[in-house]
Each structure stands twice: as structure tokens, then as C-alpha cells.
Amino acid sequence: MTLRLAGAPLPLVGRARAYVCGITPYDTTHLGHAATFVWADVASRVLRRTGVELVTCRNVTDVDDVLDAAAERAGARFDSFAAVGQFRFDRDMSALGVRPPTHEPRAHNHVDGVVALAAALLERGAAYERDGAVLFRAGQVPAPEIPADPDETSSEAPWPGADDPADALVWRPASPGEAAWPSPWGDGRPGWHAECAAMALTMLGPAVDLHIGGADLRHPHHTHQAAMVEAVTAVRPFARAHLHVGTVRVDGQKMAKSAGNLLLVGELLETHPAAAVRLLLLDRPWASAWDIEPGALDAAAARLERLYAAAARHGRGVAAADAVMERLLDDLDVPGALAVAEDEGGEAARAALAVLGLA
């Protein structure tokens, strides 16, 4: 049994490695965050059903300017503030049935790795030093990977004095009052893309089978992370396949704190079963952006009840359950698998509920 993603097979022998871009733990988890991690969990469950041993790494970006600003407003240290945010995130993920990753590195524990990465990129000629900052040359990033959809990009302000405004920080001097670490270029702190590159290299090695994150992280975050790793290791591609989960929108606008349109997971769980929230996120193509409509959660809860009723019926047994897995192995086709589960009932419905974490 081989999983196909975006039309391409992902053959695996014995063991697979997945890197999941995790959270910056400065605020409460919203539905847009949850979508990525629920889909990552489903991909993990499907692969394990095929007999593959999956090793997952989901990072925690606890060295970040936005987190520092939030901690300062709260009158707390960045690390203790991040720990509280991480606790809340873990609580929401546990409620949604998202299993813990194999590894969960925190950026502040991998600063030495970023320093080593910066030194290696300089040695390779893929980066340059400028007034205490180390910058990765944007020319190392393949242009075809840059998406056209603005919802599939993440912003990062250009560094003053960079050769190219698109050059990405690997290391930068710390501003007064910020947490800082020593380096050959002076006290400073890691760049965002470099943190993920260093953690992926440390925990999983020079390449991964599956790279998972929100579609809005596709560029420049994932493209630069991959290009940094490839520039150091000469192993290409960094990721054999990608799972860029579609953006959750409200009235056509991406769900984001800056837009003021957040639906918080904790609040949704107060009024609806966790499995219904999970089903709402899964009952659609994983790569597609989508708008959450009024009544969508009630509709998901109603479909969940139909699935439970179908699981109690007699069905065609193993053949129908195999049909559910066939749908899931074909680009994680959850809507197709659920249709089989409702139609066939019995073992097919029970298999779908188990593999999708809805039981």
C-alpha cells in the first residue's frame, strides 16, 4: 500500500520521517492552526496503517520577536510565557485527538545548531556576514517554488543593508532587552527559517519524507528552510513530499489575529464535541482553502452521528474497510472515505472512524 500525495506516489520502506512546522506559543490556538495539526495527525495514522514506522518532529518556535513582544506586554520572561502557551496548545491538541510527536524540539535549545548552520552556509558561500548578521542568499531558493496565492506566503521584513531584500536572516544582532546568545558574529539570535532548518537537521537528518505545515508557510518559510538545509548537506530534495494544508477563511479573509476573525479551539470545544470539530477540519480536500460557514459545526456534528449509526450496522466486512483505506491512500481523500463509510456501514464505518481519529 502506497500513499499518493498531490498525484505523486510516496513509496516508503520500513520507516518515514515527517517534519511538522509547529506553533509560536504566544497566543491561544485557533481553528486555522488546528487544521494543520489535525491533518498531520491523519497523515501519520494513515501511514502507520500501512505498516510504516513514522518518526515525527514538530517544532516549537519559542525564540521569536512576536512572542517576545507578547511576553513583555504580559510582564513575563519569554521562556515562561512560551511554556504557558505551549501548555494551552497541548491541551487543545489532546482534546482534538492529535497524538504527540516523536520529537518536539524548542528553538531556544537549538541556538548552537543555528550558529553551526550559519557557519556552514558561510563556508559554502550560500550566506554572507553583514554587521553582525548572517544572511542567506535568496538566489539559493528555486523561483518556481514561490506561490502566486498571497494566502500561501508568510511575511518577513527585509534586513537593512542586505544585498537583496529577499535575503533571509540566519543570525542577527539582538536588540536591547531581547534574549541573546553568543556567536562568532557577536551576541544575537536565530532567524526564523534557520531555526526550523537547524531543528530538522538535528532531529531527522539531512532529508525528510514529508514536510507538513500551513499553506501560508509555503514561502518564504518552507522554501528557505529547505534551501538552507540543501545548501549545507548537498542532499536534494530536502522533502520528498509536502502537505501544505489549505487556509481557513472567514468571509474570504484568512483567519488571523491581525484580522480579528479568530475562532478559538477552546471556545468551540465548550459547545461542540471534539470529534465534530475534528471532522469539520477533515471533511474536505486537504490542500484547498475554505470558508467556514454559519452552521458548519452543527452540520459536522450531525454527520458524525450518522457515521456512528453506520458503524453500528452490519456491512460487507473487510472488503468495504479496504475501500476506505484505498480512498485515504489516494491523496488523503477523507470525503471519499467518509462516503464509503456512510454507504457501507459496519466495518467500513468503524475503520474510517478509527483511522481518522473520530472514534
Read off the pLDDT of residues 37-54 as tens digits, 9 standing for 90 and up. 999 999 999 999 999 999
pLDDT band at 145 (very low <50, low <70, confident <90, very high): low
Which letter, b or e, does each residue of 59-82 get, where b requires 16 or more Cβ atoms within 10 Å of its Cβ? bbbbbbeebbebbeeeeeebeebb
Compute, in degrees rounded to 10, the torsion defined by CA atoms 158, 229, 246, 81: -70
Q: What is the mean pLDDT of residues 243-262?
A: 91
Q: How many CB atoms lie within 10 A of CB 250?
A: 18
What angle in degrees, to the nearest 10, is found between the helix axes of 111-124 and 221-233? 70
Angle at 17 between CA 196 and CA 50, to 5 degrees: 150
pLDDT reading at 248 higher than 60: yes
Q: What is the mean pLDDT of residues 76-80?
A: 91
According to DSSP, the β-strands at 168-173 and 133-136 are antiparallel
Q: What is the mean pLDDT of residues 201-214?
A: 98
Q: What is the mean pLDDT of residues 12-19?
A: 95
Q: What distance in Å separates the CA atoms of residue 299 and residue 91, rounded to the nearest whole number?
A: 25
pLDDT of residue 150: 64
Q: Is the peptide bond before 237 cis (omega within 30 degrees of 0)?
A: yes
Across the chain, mean pLDDT equals 93
pTM: predicted TM-score of the whole model, two decimal places:
0.95
Q: What distance in Å separates the CA atoms of residue 293 and residue 314, rounded to the nearest whole number?
A: 34
For 221-306, list the strands marked E by DSSP. 239-245, 248-250, 253-254, 290-291
For the chain, list the strands marked E by DSSP. 3-5, 8-10, 15-20, 53-58, 127-130, 133-136, 168-173, 188-190, 208-214, 239-245, 248-250, 253-254, 290-291
Q: Is the peptide bond before 220 cis (omega within 30 degrees of 0)?
A: yes
Task: Specify the amino acid at residue 285.
Answer: P
In this predicted structure, which of 118-132, 143-157, 162-176 has the lowest mean pLDDT? 143-157
Among candidate residues 266, 245, 246, 355, the one with its CA nearest the CA of residue 307: 355
Q: What distance in Å separates the CA atoms of residue 126 and residue 210, rounded to the nearest whole number?
A: 25
Q: Which three cell numbers stand for residue 150?
A: 498571497
For 199-304, list the strands marked E by DSSP. 208-214, 239-245, 248-250, 253-254, 290-291
Q: What distance in Å separates the CA atoms of residue 241 and residue 67, rounded to the nearest whole number?
A: 30
What percentage of the chain exceeds 90 in pLDDT? 83
